[in-house]
Amino acid sequence: IVPLIVNNPLPVATTLSPATAAGGGPGFTLTVSGSGFIASSLVLWNNSPRSTTFVSSSQLTATINASDLTTVGPAQVSVSIPTPGGGVSNILTFTVTGPVINNNGTVNGASFAPGAGVAPGSIASVFGSSLSTTTAKSTVRLNGTQSFVYDSFGGQINFQVPWELASQTKATLTVTSS
């Protein structure tokens, strides 16, 4: 008697929920919907397996760690099923978003008045979303020159305007939060 070998299905991923998260945010549970999932399915995040829970043949959940959200940009999500048969599904894109600065969100740190100028060496504040809650993970640059960050918390970063901008009347602000 020849043993019957049943091939595992090739998984198909169709949607992610959520499909975006803020860079530097906490870990979360990702739901992957599709078809052909089995109990030994694994969700892959940029080709690395994540702790996966089989919900049904059309749904899996996976633990996405805070460390997965340190790089802003696209992450590749797919599903892997072992042999015999099986294989890796199509790739879906998950987007790790960066900080967003509010309209008129960069202000003089003393008055908080929009449009009030700042001088080199003075304190300024930037308000927005997806900003880091720790100074160690917040970087502010004006015209490419790094500023000293005094404080960073829930939607606000306080920083010193670099002295190197003494001859400038405008500057491009870049905020990095991880």
Q: Helical H runs in 92-163? A: none
Q: What is the reported pLDDT for 178?
A: 66
| Whether 69 contacts 18, CB under 8 Å | no
What are residue 177's DSSP bridge partners? 138
Tell me the pLDDT of the chain (178 aa) as tens digits: 777 888 999 999 999 999 998 877 789 999 999 999 999 999 999 999 999 999 999 999 999 998 898 777 899 999 999 999 999 999 999 998 887 788 888 999 989 988 888 899 999 999 987 777 777 778 899 999 999 999 988 789 999 999 999 988 888 888 887 6
CA separation (Å) from 42 to 8, 34, 74? 13, 13, 20
CB neighbours of residue 6 within 10 Å: 7
What tokens does 130 get?
A: 């997806």
What are residue 101's DSSP bridge partners? 128
Q: What length is written for the chain? A: 178
Residues 1, 3: Cα–Cα separation, whole Å: 6
| Whether 96 contacts 23, CB under 8 Å | yes
Q: What is the reported pLDDT for 69?
A: 85
Strands 48-50 and 20-22: unpaired
> pLDDT tens across 47-80, in order?
999 999 999 999 999 999 988 987 778 999 999 9
> Which residues have C-beta within 8 Å of that of residue 130, sequence separation ≥ 6?
22, 23, 24, 25, 97, 98, 99, 100, 177
Amino acid at 151: D
